């Protein structure tokens, strides 16, 4: 499942399976959930008893000849304790359940995070980071909201409705209970129907919010490019266009919400008026006491305040479900590169790499590699050259198992990469990419990323090997120097040497050099080449090169053309053959000569 343009994961209607899928996360704290539910019941029992005590107090003073006696004092104290108990048990319930909700958010966030790291490179090349971050943020917040309010607002409100209807049915005419239940049904049907209709505006708002956020993040990440072309106003206009769409969608959402609130208020006002007219007529005829009238009025207020809040909760739950469905949609994106069940770890004895009749295509209509076969003996270096689009970097991606081959096989020391665990495979391979992207942290952190937990002595050792020691020592903050987002505070050569130091710290038996000097000047290239030659010593190395001068010492060189091997041999043999390699060499020599003379 590939991500789509705006609604990247799923646009299916909200499914109540989302709620069911959250229930297992409650099982981790069964005791807390049970205690919270007990507090909920106690809070509601205290709440529905308050109007009954209020009725007794009013009736006592209505009929009492003395102002104050022992019974009403007890009733007044009981009234106060019941009100306090209602609030106290509600707060205790929330405090007890807080750990449950927060832990569920943590578990689900971690699950999504781990799943994103398992997805193939194609997904991450197509993703929109800003929108993805918004989906995760809104989804995790929605989970916390859904768990708390579904359990502690919908369930208790339904319990309260049942208790009040039962009290009215037992103590008064069945018409009162029917009127209450009828009002609740009308209110519920109106709320559900109207909320379902307006959910289209919520989805539209979220999509446009993702677009505007994606645009903002993309523009800020490309700050230098914006400045190079003086396109600040263009970026501002583009961003404002997205914000204008978001503003219009928000207005539709707000206006529809106002209509929903007004409809709910009308139903509540009509229901309360109806019951009070019924009760007033009975008081006037002597069939009902003033205390009973006060009790019915208190029950109606007590019922419709949470019921009105329940309407709000239902709307918010539906919005939360929309947010959660996008978060859970991420979990539905299929993992294309998966380990076999109980896949063993890769066991490297020497590190010999072999490609055996490999065929591969990113999409069926565009084949990239055709019947590629070669072997890199353990501890040797093989270089791959060719024009852009020939399939050089694809070889590296397949060896690292970002993708699985469509045909043939790739093996290390005779072990098919598809039959071993991805983690163990990648533990044995180091990569120095063409474009080194660093974490927005310190130099020390970025180097230690090659082996988390490495000592400072180990880090300084690889800094010396990567010819970076003097540079770091000259910095006022040394290893604690911040590199900036994507390493923008460092030069290309400095970033590249950090990448080399990181790989040296990892110390893998197999190495991939993916055009590691393509973007560097001649002086930086020479220094990097010295470091790379050091890295490649005693390691099986696949070197992908744009500049042929960087791989002249390779024991074996392959020339790729449109996904096929057209030549192979060492530098001297290929020059003597006078074929594609010789032509590429002559072209680059002319380019270098022209640059030096210029």
Dist. CA 553–CA 571, nearest whole Å: 7
Q: Determine contact, residues 3/126, Cβ cutoff 8 Å.
A: yes
Number of Cβ within a 10 Å radius of residue 225: 11
User: Of the spans 10-14, 74-78, 192-196, which averages the highest pLDDT?
Assistant: 192-196
**What does the DSSP 8-state code read for residue 480?**
G
Average pLDDT over residues 554-572: 92
Strand, coil or helix: 438: coil
Host H or E run for residue 155: helix 155-171
| Residue whose token pair is 């084949």 | 367
Strands 556-561 and 540-544: unpaired
Output the DSSP codes for 138-153: HHHHHHHHHHHHIIII
457: exposed, middle or buried (Cβ count in 10 Å: 0-12, 13-18, 19+): exposed
Average pLDDT on 237-255 reads: 86
Locate all alpha helices (DSSP H) within 230-289, ordered by sequence. 232-285
Confidence of residue 519 (pLDDT cuts 50, 70, 90): low
- Token duo for residue 50: 């308050």
Give the single-character DSSP code of 429.
Answer: E
Across 18-27, average pLDDT: 70
End-to-end Cα spacing for the chain: 51
| Model pLDDT, residue 382 | 93
Tokens representing 467?
């010819």
pTM of the model: 0.63
Identify the residue with better confidence: 222 or 237: 237
Give the Cα separation of 204 and 257 in Å (integer): 15
Q: Do the beta carbons of residue 294 and residue 54 sit within 8 Å?
A: yes
Q: Are strands 510-514 and 540-544 parallel, antiparallel or unpaired?
A: parallel
* Average pLDDT taken over every residue of the chain: 79
Are the beta carbons of 211 and 134 closer than 8 angstroms? no
> In 3-state terms, what secondary structure has residue 359?
strand
Give the number of other Cβ atoms within 10 Å of residue 269's Cβ: 11
Mean pLDDT of 39-60: 74
Tens-place pLDDT, residues 165-190: 777 777 777 887 788 788 888 888 88
Task: Tell me the per-residue pLDDT of 348-387, one tens digit each, with 9 for 90 and over.
Answer: 998 999 999 999 998 888 899 999 999 999 989 899 998 8
**List of domains in the chain:** 17-332 (1.20.1560.10), 353-428+508-597 (3.40.50.300)
- Among candidate residues 514, 504, 519, 510, the one with its CA nearest the CA of residue 541: 510
Q: Cα 131 to the chain's mean position, in Å?
A: 10
- Indicate the length of the chain as a whole number: 598
The answer to whether 394 touches 368, Cβ cutoff 8 Å, is: yes
User: Is the model more confident about 324 or about 305?
Assistant: 324
């Amino acid at each position: 499942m590939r991500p789509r343009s705006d609604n990247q994961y799923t646009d299916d209607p909200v499914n109540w399976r989302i709620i069911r899928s959250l229930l297992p996360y409650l099982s981790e704290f069964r005791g807390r959930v049970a205690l919270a539910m007990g507090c909920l019941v106690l809070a509601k029992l205290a709440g529905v008893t308050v109007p009954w005590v209020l009725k007794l107090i009013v009736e006592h003073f209505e009929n009492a000849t003395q102002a104050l006696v022992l019974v009403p004092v007890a009733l007044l104290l009981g009234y106060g304790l019941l009100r306090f108990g209602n609030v106290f048990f509600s707060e205790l319930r929330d405090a007890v359940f807080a750990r449950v909700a927060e832990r569920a958010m943590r578990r689900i966030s971690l699950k999504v995070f781990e799943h994103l790291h398992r997805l193939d490179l194609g997904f991450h090349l197509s993703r929109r980071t800003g929108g993805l971050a918004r989906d995760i943020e809104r989804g995790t917040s929605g989970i916390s909201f859904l768990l708390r309010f579904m359990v502690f607002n919908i369930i208790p409100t339904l319990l309260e409705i049942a208790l009040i209807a039962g009290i009215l049915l037992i103590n008064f005419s069945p018409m009162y209970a029917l009127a209450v239940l009828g009002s609740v049904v009308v209110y519920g049907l109106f709320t559900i129907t109207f909320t379902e209709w307006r959910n289209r505006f919520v989805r539209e708002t979220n999509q446009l919010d993702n677009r505007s956020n994606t645009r903002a993040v993309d523009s800020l990440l490309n700050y230098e490019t914006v400045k190079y072309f003086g396109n600040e106003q263009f970026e501002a206009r583009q961003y404002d266009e997205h914000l204008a769409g978001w503003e219009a969608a928000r207005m539709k959402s707000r206006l529809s919400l106002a209509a929903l609130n007004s409809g709910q208020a009308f139903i509540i006002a009509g229901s309360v008026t109806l019951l009070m007219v019924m009760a007033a007529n009975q008081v006037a005829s002597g069939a009902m006491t003033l205390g009973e009238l006060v009790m019915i009025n208190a029950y109606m207020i007590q019922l419709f305040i949470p019921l009105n809040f329940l309407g709000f909760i239902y709307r918010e739950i539906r919005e939360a479900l929309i947010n959660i469905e996008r978060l859970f949609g991420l979990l539905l994106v299929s993992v294309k590169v998966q380990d076999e069940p109980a896949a063993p770890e890769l066991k490297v004895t020497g590190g010999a790499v072999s490609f055996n009749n490999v065929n591969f295509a990113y999409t069926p209509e565009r084949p990239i590699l055709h019947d590629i076969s070669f072997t890199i003996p353990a501890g040797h270096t093989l270089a791959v050259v060719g024009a852009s689009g020939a399939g050089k970097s694809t070889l590296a991606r397949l060896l690292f198992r970002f993708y699985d081959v469509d045909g043939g096989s790739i093996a290390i020391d005779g072990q098919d990469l598809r039959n071993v665990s991805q983690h163990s495979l990648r533990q044995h391979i180091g990569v120095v990419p063409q474009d080194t992207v660093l974490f927005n942290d310190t130099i020390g952190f970025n180097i230690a990323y090659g082996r988390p937990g490495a000592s400072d002595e180990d880090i300084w050792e690889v800094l010396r090997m990567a010819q970076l020691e003097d540079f770091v020592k000259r910095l006022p903050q040394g290893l604690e120097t911040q590199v900036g987002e994507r390493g923008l505070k460092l030069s290309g050569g400095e970033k590249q040497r950090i990448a080399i130091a990181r790989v040296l710290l990892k110390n893998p038996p197999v190495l991939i050099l993916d055009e590691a000097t393509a973007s560097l000047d001649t002086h930086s290239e020479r220094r990097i080449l010295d470091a790379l030659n050091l890295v490649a010593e005693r390691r099986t190395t696949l070197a992908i090169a744009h500049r042929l001068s960087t791989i002249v010492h390779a024991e074996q060189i392959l020339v790729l053309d449109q996904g096929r091997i057209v030549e192979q041999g060492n530098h001297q043999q290929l020059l003597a053959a006078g074929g594609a390699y010789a032509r590429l060499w002559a072209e680059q020599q002319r380019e270098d000569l022209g640059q030096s003379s210029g």
